[in-house]
Amino acid sequence: MEYLKYIIIALIVLFFIRSMFPTKGVRNITSAQLKNELKDKNKQFVDVRTPGEYKGNHIRPFMNIPLHQLEQKINQLSKDKEIVVICQSGLRSNKACKLLKKQGFKQVTNVKGGMSAWS
């Protein structure tokens, strides 16, 4: 029975490590690269932080769709345009990118380091 405890712990650790890796088919950019893309009208910009975080500081073209509401509000986004996703550190936006890919979005970009890397 002791080994079962170690297997469960290993699976939990694996789950958390896996959630930090980039998602297959998702482009990752730095905040410096983001600056060059902000003027592109053919892209959708989504900030998945909480409304309070967004209100405190955000980048102009980004619309706020908190991660916990993304699945319900996914119909507000076009599958014909690339989606650029940001959060505070890059973890929530990575989760959002995974969700978008599962929902059939083809062009999904994650901003590595999120708002913490934005200057």
pLDDT in tens, the chain (119 residues): 788 888 888 888 877 776 666 667 899 999 999 999 999 999 999 999 999 999 999 999 999 999 999 999 999 999 999 999 999 999 999 999 999 999 999 999 999 999 999 97
pLDDT value at position 20?
Answer: 63
For residue 18, tell me if it sits in a domain: no
Task: Count the domains in the chain.
Answer: 1
For residue 59, tell me if it sits in a domain: yes
pTM for the model stands at 0.82
How many of the other CB atoms lie within 10 Å of CB of 82? 17
pLDDT value at position 21?
Answer: 65
pLDDT value at position 18?
Answer: 67
What residues are annotated to the active site?
87
CATH number for the domain harbouring residue 34: 3.40.250.10
pLDDT value at position 27?
Answer: 95
The parent domain of residue 98 ranges over 24-117
Q: How far apart are CA 113 and CA 111, in angstroms?
A: 6
Residues in the chain: 119
- Cα dihedral 19, 37, 64, 27, rounded to 10, equals -20
Q: How far apart are CA 77 and CA 45, in angstroms?
A: 10
For residue 35, tell me if it sits in a domain: yes
The answer to whether 35 and 118 are in contact (CB under 8 A) is no
